[in-house]
Amino acid sequence: MFSSFNFNNQKALVRVDFNVPLDDQFNITDDTRMMATIPTIKKILADGGSAILMSHLGRPKDGPTDKYSLKHLVKHLHELLNKDFDGSPSGAGGGGDTKVFFADDCIGEQAAMTAQMLRGGEVLLLENLRFYKEEEKGDKAFAEKLSKLGDVYVNDAFGTAHRAHASTAVIAEFFPKDKKMFGLLMEAEVKSAEKVLHQSEKPFCAIIGGAKVSDKILIIENLLERATDIIIGGGMAYTFLKARGGNIGNSLCEDDRMQTALDILEKAKQKGVSIHLPETSIIADKFAADADTKDCPSDQIPAGWMGLDIGGKAIGIFSEIIKKSKTILWNGPMGVFEMEKFQNGTKSIALAVAESTANGAFSLVGGGDSVAAVNKFNLADKVSYVSTGGGALLEYFEGKELPGIAAIKN
């Protein structure tokens, strides 16, 4: 719908996710989230429409706070809108300078006046929505005030799609069906997530890693209904290994989740889903970059040692499964990839996913640390899709209906 909509003379009120990290000097240290939504804004401007952008930034507790002001993003937004992605200068509407205005309150007279005066090809960035408690409460009256700023509502903030906030969900009530839609980023995110969860070509392999079992129980349970193989790596694997009677030394373990782990293994057996735990691990005598290390069976880790990465045999087995798969979902690293000594497992799995993708599989990587990992190993463009939505993507794969998606679709 977004691509065929003509925004000429329309004021598009766009919910973006500009929740970017800033350093002490208010420099943006990672602008991925801003970059991701630029094509949506450019399309609106190129049509002859104007864009009114609203976002949250950080977690302000007590109203307006300089540290969380979106004014710190104006300069960079202006730069991004005035250059093509190959770096050559050009206006967002195809030549010329795209003006970016800022309203230091997201509602009220100044915002309304600036929005009203905005001409085709111009952009207005509103101050942090979370300076009002009403935003996170999903307050209707607040959502209605925001809605008055634009003619069309565009949601391009997949990162907050799992929140029923005023600007991400409630606001959609105030627009007719043909005047509310996903932006290009949100469309792509939803399409790739739906493809994996609902139209997966088999074999479908889910790779789940990271630190804690407790964070991933719901996603594993939902995937048991859909995947053919589930690879479990990272710190969470040791709770499963201990529950099966293995010796895991000082490896990460959630003792109170061992029964859950056994239940998951049993359920998988009943459903014919293969769960793969790492047969071997790289173990270390301390959690440190200069630790002594060995490759050893994951269920025979000596006391005082801990598994910090998957071992060579596990890499071989996991890679074979990945290379035979037609659909791949990857969430969470295989080890402590932040330290060079323990990055090999995660890197090898990333390479296997890339190889499988080159051979025609559809691969979706999502969730903070696996995204950081594919970026670290320069493999982001070798997988089918890298999601920008950490928590939102997880909740989607837990089988929950995301309020930001439902508000537009239903």
389 binds ligand AMP (CB under 6 A): no
Contact segment (CB under 6 A) with ligand AMP among 7-15, 89-97, 136-144, 327-335 equals: 327-335
The verdict on 336 binding ligand AMP (CB under 6 A) reads yes
| Residue 138, number of CB atoms within 10 A of its CB | 18
The yes or no reply on residue 60 touching ligand AMP (CB under 6 A) is no
CB closer to ligand AMP, 138 vs 159: 159
CA atoms of 180 and 173, how far apart (whole Å)? 9
Give 208 or 408: the residue with its C-beta nearer to ligand AMP. Answer: 208
Using CB under 6 A as the binding rule, whether residue 252 contacts ligand AMP is answered as: yes
Q: Does residue 294 interact with ligand AMP by CB under 6 A? A: no
Instruction: State which residue, 39 or 312, has the beta carbon closest to ligand AMP.
Output: 312
Q: Residue 367 CB, nearest distance to ligand AMP (Å)?
A: 6
**Of 47, 97, 136, 215, the one binding ligand AMP by CB under 6 A:** 215
In this structure, the number of other CB atoms found within 10 A of the CB of residue 147 comes to 19
Minimum CB distance to ligand AMP smaller for 224 or for 336: 336
Cβ neighbours for 164, distance < 8 A, ≥ 6 positions apart: 138, 170, 403
Provide the H-helix boundaries in 67-204.
Answer: 74-81, 109-117, 133-137, 140-147, 184-198
Q: State the residue number with the nearest CB to ligand AMP.
A: 210
Check residue 234 for interaction with ligand AMP (CB under 6 A).
Answer: yes
Q: Which residues, 76 to 95, sit near ligand AMP by CB under 6 A?
A: none
Of 30, 128, 110, nearest to 76 by C-alpha is 30
Sign for the CA dihedral angle at 138, 140, 144, 147 comes to: positive
Q: How far is the CB of 243 from ligand AMP (least distance, A)?
A: 16
211 binds ligand AMP (CB under 6 A): yes
Q: Which stretch binds ligand AMP (CB under 6 A): 84-92, 99-107, 330-338, 400-408?
A: 330-338
Beta bridge partners of residue 126, listed in sequence order? 103
Q: How far is the CB of 238 from ligand AMP (least distance, A)?
A: 7
Toward ligand AMP, which CB reaches closer, 49 or 235? Answer: 235
> Residue 212 corresponds to which tokens in the numbers above?
């804690």
Angle 84-87-92 from CA coordinates, rounded to 5°: 20
Give the separation between CA 242 and CA 36, rounded to whole angstroms.
41
Residue the block writes with tokens 């209605």: 144
Which parts of 47-126 fold into alpha helices (H)? 74-81, 109-117
The torsion angles phi and psi of 302, rounded to 5 degrees, stand at -65, 155
What residues line the site for ligand AMP (CB under 6 A)? 210-212, 215, 234-235, 252, 307-308, 332-333, 335-336, 338, 369
